Amino acid sequence: MDISGEPLIAISNDLTSVTKLFHRVNSVIPDEQTLVTVEPETVVTDALALLEKYGFSQVPVVVGREVLGLFSYQTFSRYVIKYSQEAVVKSRKFELLKLTVEECMDPKPHFARVTDEFKAWFDVIDRCDSVLVGSPDRLLGIVTAMDILRYLYNVASPFVMIGEVELALRALMQMAFDGETLEACARICLKDKYDQDKMPTQLHEMTFNDYIQIVGDGRVWSHFELVFGGNRVRTRAKLEQLRDVRNVIFHFRREIMVEEYETLAANRDWMLQKVRAAEARLKERQQ
Amino acid sequence: MSKGNLQTVFQNLGYFPHQAEFAAKFLAPDSAQKHLLQSWPGLGKGFTASAITGYVVTHDQARRVLVLAPPALVHQWLHMIRSKYPNASSMVIDRRRLRELEDNQERGESPWPTSGIILMSMDFARQEDVAESLLKTTWDLLVVDEAQLLTPSTQRRQVVTRLLDQSPKMRALFLRVHIPIVTTNSDVSTDPLFCDAETTVWSRETLRDKNGMALLPEVHIQWIPYHRRDDEVKLLSRLQHALQATQASDSRSQVEITTLLLQSASSSLFALEQRLNRMRRRQNEIAHGINENIHGVDEDDAERSADRPSLAQPRFIDQTVELLEMLDNIATDSKFESLLSLLDDIGVVPSSERRVCMFTSYVDTATYLESALSEYHPCVTAITGNLSYAERERTVANFMRNGGILIATLAMSTTIPEVAAVIFYDLPLNPITTEARIGQFVRVGRRGPVQVFAFTDDSNSLAIEQLQKKVVEAKAFLREDELQQLLVQNADLNSEDSLSNQNG
């Protein structure tokens, strides 16, 4: 192997790039994004058909690797108005179908860098619907308002679901027994975990794991059977799955996997079903 | 350095004779340009190849090295290289990292660093723009792990072929899993990708230690019979009936979905319940127009596609509510009870001297068993594909230190320490997959024999389990090539093999 010649640039030995931890433009670009481009001579009808085909609102106009501009529904409508007004003023025939993207593009699109804060580009995206990433001679991606919305939803939704699950579990426990019974159950189920004088006896004093220890304990399961169904062990396993994902999320251990997200979502739905059923039973009893 | 000296260097570093011999053969001055290492699982082919990779970079025998591996193995590669060669520059490349490199590159220059080891998943490398970028760079060494995945007409294979064509001086090392009953020599000798490579084969039959003893012990599965209770049998019968009634087409995806549901049921009622819950959720999302998975789904992932609707599923979905209600009323778990008595017989104690490892195909079953067993045993942990590589390593280290029970999903690539007994809570349908999984714990240098247990339901409630038994019986009476022929002809069995590998 011939290794003479080129200067050496050492690869950093960090496990992953630390910049990944920050929510920057690089994080917002969807991993599966495929860059579709058009050439300047493309007629607008073809470019519009392309936008419709891919469900895009804009497409970069390129020659080779050089970005000449950005064609979008917005730039198209702007130029159509402009050209038709000019045609009226000059009493000329306006031939819409002969327009090329070069005549209807934004010739100076904005370029964000992958290391930029995406918040800094909100105004541009608000105005132009998107921002290109990279530079005019090296297009790396494109960020739209929907990309940001999806990204933020991805980041936020596990937190929201965990909140729903925790509050729902508390509500179900409140439905299952009164304050005195809760205290008695806590003293049975949590006795190995806390000293008697430090024993949490109110739901808001307990951790999520304390809830699981009480609900999943065979000695007090009879209180919950009506709410959660016939199988204590499977109920506890579901709650422990939720706890494990919760700990990964709230302690920022790592990004959760797709499978974990789906398990969280399915278990959240299961909890919702149980709450609905419990509320219906409660209403029936009250009537 | 001569071949003999190199072999001594690697043996002194703790590598087994066959591993040191191969490393020396590859690194010797007169070595072939292209090598193919075919090995039975567990003989350390990745371990040896990572040592070669680290060695060539730290000894200036190569500047740029490209390692392509299945996604689950990429970080394991990084760990193996860094543990033996901490000074070898190495980097895992994914989409975001590549964009950062591209953002920093000077005009007209390559984004790739001019020295070091670049590790990436095969599936990332095959993406068009990534492949183009790789092809514009000169690589000194290409390593492809699990090269059996480079099947003809795939983009994976195309990118590897083009890399070889593009850099005629580049050295190449291909690693292939070689199990005699699924791999024939003709596969390799006629394959244009490998036919000109110097081939080395490691098999459990031929490898011996320096005393002439077999490196891998023989393993036989001991069946543990149990009997499903009436309510469990009724549920499974209802499930099979519902699936039969909704078989709208015999499409491959429909067969896969049915197989996955039945296998989940065979694994544990919890796995079945969670799969039904996920299917119901997906159906609700579709009904409410939320048709897009916010995390993005790999179209090849059959495991997750089972939770997505198919043509026949809308009718099946109507049955899930009833099935979930039936599940709600089943308080017992006969298979789990059978497991408890088996563990009592084995005598599990929290000690590093007495470790037990359990395998399952499903993450749900693994978490269920971890939860349920923790009521009876103090040291129970689970490792699944959901955990990061560091988390898996920590869990396995604790297991080594404290003993107890480790529950692992079959698709796990982590090396499991030596154990007193192995329990397959559910068996892959294809016995060849089982053999490959056994290779995960029966690794070179370990003492044998190992006790291996698997469960069998006497009530014969699930047709899929009856089929599984028949295949195991067939394996005992057929020659290996006959079994291979049988399996190749049976498309359902082979599709199962690819599915079960993705579950963990």
Which residues of A are less than 8 Å from B95 in CB distance? Answer: 31
The per-residue pLDDT for B498 is 36
The per-residue pLDDT for B198 is 92
Complex ipTM over 0.85? no
Q: Is the separation of the CB atoms in B421 and B450 below 8 Å?
A: yes
Distance from the Cα of B186 to chain A's closest Cα (Å) equals 31
Average confidence (pLDDT) over B220-243: 86
In this prediction, residue B309 has a pLDDT band, given cuts at 50, 70 and 90, of very low
Contact B307 A30 (CB under 8 A): no
Per-residue pLDDT of A103-159, as tens digits, reads 999 999 999 999 898 888 999 999 888 999 999 988 999 999 999 999 998 889 999
Residue B461 is classified by DSSP as: -
Which residues of A are less than 8 Å from B295 in CB distance? Answer: 154, 258, 261
Phi first, then psi, for residue A43 (nearest 5°) are: -75, 150
Which residue type does B153 have?
S
A1: helix, strand or coil: coil
- Which of A233-242, B157-166, B412-421 has the least mean pLDDT? B412-421
Question: Which tokens is A145 given?
Answer: 């308002």
Burial class (CB in 10 A: 0-12, 13-18, 19+), B162: middle
A31: helix, strand or coil: coil
Q: Is the separation of the CB atoms in A195 and A186 below 8 Å?
A: no
Per-residue pLDDT of A242-269, as tens digits, reads 999 998 888 877 778 888 888 899 999 9
Question: Which tokens is B257 given?
Answer: 């979905």
Q: How many CB atoms lie within 10 A of CB B273?
A: 26
Is A11 a residue whose pLDDT tops 50? no
- Which of A49-58, A79-88, B166-175, B203-212 has the least mean pLDDT? B203-212
The per-residue pLDDT for A5 is 36
Burial class (CB in 10 A: 0-12, 13-18, 19+), B385: buried
Shortest CA distance from B168: residue in chain A: A1
Name every residue whose Cβ is closer than 8 Å to that of residue A4 and which is 6 or more positions away in sequence.
none
Report how far residue B133's alpha carbon sits from residue B135's, in angstroms, rounded to the nearest whole number.
5
- Which of B159-168, B178-187, B407-416 has the least mean pLDDT? B178-187
Q: Strand B64-69 and strand B34-39: pairing?
A: unpaired
Residue B415 is classified by DSSP as: P
Report how far residue A279's alpha carbon sits from residue A132's, in angstroms, rounded to the nearest whole number.
50
Per-residue pLDDT of B76-90, as tens digits, reads 899 889 888 888 889
Is B459 a residue whose pLDDT tops 50? yes
Select from B133, B279, B386, B395 the residue whose CB has the most chain A CBs within 10 Å, as the one to mutate to test that interface.
B386
Domains and CATH numbers, chain A: 15-148 (3.10.580.10), 154-286 (no CATH)
The per-residue pLDDT for A70 is 95
Q: Is the separation of the CB atoms in A49 and B130 below 8 Å?
A: no
Q: How many CB atoms lie within 10 A of CB B189?
A: 10
Report which secondary-structure segment, H or E, holds B30. none
B449 preceded by a cis bond (ω within 30 of 0): yes
The per-residue pLDDT for B448 is 56
Nearest C-alpha neighbor of B307 from the set B282, B288, B328: B282
In this prediction, residue B495 has a pLDDT band, given cuts at 50, 70 and 90, of very low
Q: Does A4 touch chain B (CB under 8 A)?
A: no
Phi first, then psi, for residue B153 (nearest 5°) are: 70, 10
Nearest C-alpha neighbor of B139 from the set B112, B107, B175, B103: B112
Q: Is the separation of the CB atoms in B183 and B38 below 8 Å?
A: yes
In this prediction, residue B269 has a pLDDT band, given cuts at 50, 70 and 90, of very high
Contact B328 A230 (CB under 8 A): yes
Report how far residue B342's alpha carbon sits from residue A5's, in angstroms, rounded to the nearest whole number.
64
pTM (2 decimals)? 0.75
Shortest CA distance from A16: residue in chain B: B92
Q: Does A276 touch chain B (CB under 8 A)?
A: no
Per-residue pLDDT of A167-202, as tens digits, reads 999 988 988 887 788 888 888 899 888 888 888 988
Report how far residue B143's alpha carbon sits from residue B57's, in angstroms, rounded to the nearest whole number.
13
Nearest C-alpha neighbor of B276 from the set B211, B322, B312: B322
Contact B89 A10 (CB under 8 A): yes
Question: Which tokens is A237 given?
Answer: 């396993």
Is A8 a residue whose pLDDT tops 50? no
Q: Is the separation of the CB atoms in A5 and A94 below 8 Å?
A: no
Instruction: List, edge to edge, every strand of the sheet that includes A111-112.
Output: A111-112, A130-135, A138-144
Q: Is the separation of the CB atoms in B14 and B36 below 8 Å?
A: no
Report how far residue B152's alpha carbon sits from residue B193's, in angstroms, rounded to the nearest whole number.
10
Is B160 a residue whose pLDDT tops 90? yes
Q: Is the separation of the CB atoms in B466 and B460 below 8 Å?
A: yes
Question: H helices of A23-72, where?
Answer: 25-28, 44-54
Report how far residue A85's alpha carbon sits from residue B358's, in angstroms, rounded to the nearest whole number.
76
Which residues of B are less than 8 Å from A31 in CB distance? Answer: 94-96, 296
Give residue B191's Cα distance to chain centre: 24
pLDDT, averaged across chain B = 79
B195: helix, strand or coil: coil
Question: H helices of A113-253, where?
Answer: 122-128, 145-176, 179-189, 208-215, 225-228, 232-250
The per-residue pLDDT for B482 is 59
Three-class HEC string of B251-315: CHHHHHHHHHHHHHHHHCHHHHHHHHHHHHHHHHHHHCCCCCCCCCCCCCCHHHHCCCCCCCHHH
In this prediction, residue B205 has a pLDDT band, given cuts at 50, 70 and 90, of low
Cα three-residue angle A194-A197-A198, rounded to 5 degrees: 45
Distance from the Cα of A278 to chain B's closest Cα (Å) equals 14
Contact B169 A1 (CB under 8 A): yes
Per-residue pLDDT of A26-77, as tens digits, reads 989 988 888 899 999 999 999 999 999 988 999 999 998 899 999 999 999 9
